[in-house]
Structure 1
Amino acid sequence: MMKNTYKSLFLITLISGTLLTISSSSWFGAWMGLEINLLSFIPLMMSTNNLFSSEASLKYFLTQALASSILLFSIILFFMLNNWMSTNFSVYSSLLISSTLLLKSGAAPFHFWFPSVMEGLSWNNSIILMTWQKIAPLMLVSYCINFYFFYFIIMSSIIIGSLGGLNQTSLRKLMAFSSINHLGWLISGMLYSENLWMTYFVFYSFLSISVIFLLNNFKIFNLMQMFSFFKFNPSVKFFLFMPFLSLGGLPPFVGFFPKWIIIQSLINTNTFFIMIVMVFFTLITLFFYIRVCYNAFLLNHDENNWNFKKFFYLKNYFYCLTFNFFTVFGLFLISMFFWTI
């Protein structure tokens, strides 16, 4: 009872810190919200069942504390010297603020802490780190956009997120590099429209929750554990592993929709080079998603019949199937919605 009470308390303050940052009208208020968010997430990361949680929480705290101190220093410098220094200093201070916020969100080339911290977390904490913890820094990043600097961040995130996941056997590190790759797409949408990156973030969060719900349900942490899915019939395996392909952005699935609208925006603004690089390296991420699904899709199984009876009686399987319904048919439903409009 006590354990659940303190987790609920810190979860409430975690949400409150993010909301304070988003709704703040000053940089100091935003910084204070980030600190409340940080100090609330550290106790949630700690777990007696996971030996690596202490190491992960220490790495996370040191990195976020460094970013917060540089952010506060940048804000003070910005307000002290903005009135009587040259315009170039405003640009440099804006870049410094953006860099610290990108360090907090785990975007490349400030990603050095993200995969190692993910490796020491449970799946429930991983989904908080991959989704909720990115909201406040990304919202602040959208206030200080510099196109040339952000083009470098986009290219770095796309390339490092794609190539970094190729040699990973740990699914938590693989999801971390996947998150870095998605950050590149998200920041590219941020350059052109606020609605673009928010739409992409909503779809990314939904698909990440679908994938991690599956992995947490079956207690899968390593690529070799996929061989345990031999005992499932092919229909179950087919529906369970659809979110992986959707998260990679394969066109028939709903994960292609946010990438589609960002590609369209990049084409409309004639930024063809970045668009081609983003699409090319995202195909590499799709490769290591397919590698995860390969054992489940193509290798043999113990049963020969497509039997759904045992599948529907289990509650967790039903939740997985609900997530996967929107994953598979979401693009069709969205297209029908816009067609009726």
Structure 2
Amino acid sequence: MLFMINSNKMFFLFILFFSTLISISSNSWLGCWIGLEINLLSFIPLMSNPNNLLNSEASLKYFITQSIASINFLFSILLNLLLLKNFIIDNFISTLINSSLLMKMGSIPFHFWFPNIIEGLSWFNSFILMTWQKISPMILLSYYMNFKFLFLVMIFNVIVGVISSFNQSSLRKLLAFSSINNIGWMLAALMISENLWMLYFLLYSLFTFIMCFLFYVINIFYINQLFNFNLNFLIKFSILINFLSLGGLPPFLGFFPKWMIINYLLYNNLFIISFIFIMTSLIMLFVYIRIIYSSFMFYSIKLKWSKIFMKNNFMIFINIFSFTSLLGMLSSTLFFI
């Protein structure tokens, strides 16, 4: 594995993988609920660590919040089976189902647990929580969507994710609020097309993986550590490129799915939502650039006692992915022209 994983936890990783397949391939709501429960019970052993109180506290918080979301989901699907269908009841049940699934993925307005839990996790568990754990709720959300409710959630996701990113000292919390911001984009992509959502999710997962792996390799968790350590220039350049891709700056590859979403919103005369999405992306880029700019400025200070020499062959692939991101948008633009 790319991250250092205990061999005893490999079994729970396989269960985590298959539980997601159970949820998305089930032909009944009860089967989806069972898959979500197996997913929860398989992720708890990955999070918990008896030698680290923060991990144990995070796993307990995660279990409580996910259990509440699962109870709400089960209650809503039982209401869906028992009550007679009319417009008001159907609207109410769809809102309940959507709310429980939004709570599962850590979206607005049920996002308060997400940054607190991710602060107590390792980089590997943070990567799983920000990417893989969103697959089941997102796909189940596409089965029963309340569009008016999700439009509000989508807008508040991008706004709150950007506002909360300011004055953050923790890199894990910064990526958590970036994930909340990207949930808004993913909901927009999901309402447009599942293929567009899949493209956006794959690119988001790639950039998040690179960021988590880089921070894991150099063993940093806070923003001020980027300033103090005399890191390799290529590492800082890779962090810069992937931050800009994550923010959606052209010509980087992360701009491509956002560009498609904005085109669809403008084509359907949703100018206000497009304006909000574009402005929040610009503010998020400002947050990223402010961090990286300060980090590059501190690069000139040569501290002899904090030299870091890295001999990791995987860094070559990270740099290749970074330059692919730099050139990918240019090639994709030529392709569509």
TM-score in terms of structure 1 length: 0.91
Matched, 1:321 2:319: yes
Equivalent residue for 1:50? 52
Cα gap change, 1:14/1:235 in structure 2, threshold over 3 Å: closer, same or farther? closer
Matched, 1:197 2:197: yes
Partner SS, residue 230 of structure 1: coil
Equivalent residue for 2:267? 268
Partner SS, residue 168 of structure 2: coil
Equivalent residue for 2:306? none
Q: Which runs of 4+ in 1 moved over 6 A?
A: none
Distance 1:337 1:206 in 2: 22
The CA deviation at 1:338 is 4.2
List per-residue Cα deviations over 1:280-333 (Å, max 9, x = no partner): 112121122112212333344257xxxxxx88x641422321231222222123
Cα gap change, 1:336/1:36 in structure 2, threshold over 3 Å: closer, same or farther? same
Equivalent residue for 1:141? 141
Partner SS, residue 221 of structure 1: coil
Answer yes or no: is the 8 Å Cα contact 2:169–2:224 preserved in 1: yes
Q: Give the alignment of 1:202-213 within 5 angstroms.
A: 202-213=202-213
Distance 2:301 2:55 in 1: 37
Answer yes or no: is the 8 Å Cα contact 1:240–1:321 preserved in 2: no
Partner SS, residue 76 of structure 2: helix
Equivalent residue for 2:329? 331
Gaps of 5+ in 2: 303-308
What letter corresponds to residue 334 of structure 1 in structure 2? S
TM-score in terms of structure 2 length: 0.92
Answer yes or no: is the 8 Å Cα contact 1:217–1:316 preserved in 2: no
The CA deviation at 1:223 is 0.7
Identity over aligned pairs, percent = 48
The CA deviation at 1:197 is 1.4
Cα gap change, 1:56/1:18 in structure 2, threshold over 3 Å: closer, same or farther? same
The CA deviation at 1:118 is 0.5
Equivalent residue for 1:306? none
The CA deviation at 1:189 is 1.4
Cα gap change, 1:220/1:231 in structure 2, threshold over 3 Å: closer, same or farther? closer
Equivalent residue for 2:80? 78
What letter corresponds to residue 70 of structure 1 in structure 2? N
Distance 1:263 1:4 in 2: 43
What letter corresponds to residue 149 of structure 1 in structure 2? F
Distance 1:109 1:86 in 2: 27
List per-residue Cα deviations over 1:29-86 (Å, max 9, x = no partner): 00000000000000000124533001100110000000001100110111111xx353
Distance 2:194 2:90 in 1: 23
Equivalent residue for 1:249? 248
Distance 1:117 1:228 in 2: 26
- The two structures, once aligned, show a CA RMSD in angstroms of 1.8
Distance 2:335 2:22 in 1: 34
Equivalent residue for 2:11? 9
Gaps of 5+ in 1: 304-309
The CA deviation at 1:337 is 4.4
The CA deviation at 1:204 is 0.7
The CA deviation at 1:236 is 4.9
Distance 1:49 1:265 in 2: 49
The CA deviation at 1:239 is 3.5
Partner SS, residue 53 of structure 2: coil
Equivalent residue for 1:36? 38
